[in-house]
Amino acid sequence: MLLRDRHIKKIAELVLKNLKDKKLITLRVKEGAILEGIEKVIHDDLMAEVKLDQEARKLLDNYRGQIQSGQLDEQKAFVMIKKQLAKDKKMVL
């Protein structure tokens, strides 16, 4: 699921506020630079998941015959493939 840029920005703001409120970080650069970094990490993570979904869908095509014949549930197979790909790539979903 992709988030709009405004949602990513809001999440980044909340993360930074939480870290500052709990005194878990000390800012050495401008807050704007830190927010941009957090936003980039969130965006990059979302894009990695999109790529993982695409790869899982591509692999799922190998089972199209079994899905069409009813031997295999498409959604369950997709989730299983995606989980295995994530595990192989050491990604946390």
pTM recorded for the entire structure: 0.81
- What does the pLDDT read at residue 1? 58
What pLDDT is stored for residue 82 in this prediction? 97
The overall average pLDDT reported for the chain is: 95
DSSP 63: G
| Distance in angstroms (rounded) separating the CA atoms of residues 52 and 55 | 5
- Going by the DSSP 8-state scheme, the letter that residue 62 receives in this structure is G
- The pLDDT of 72-88, averaged and rounded, is 96
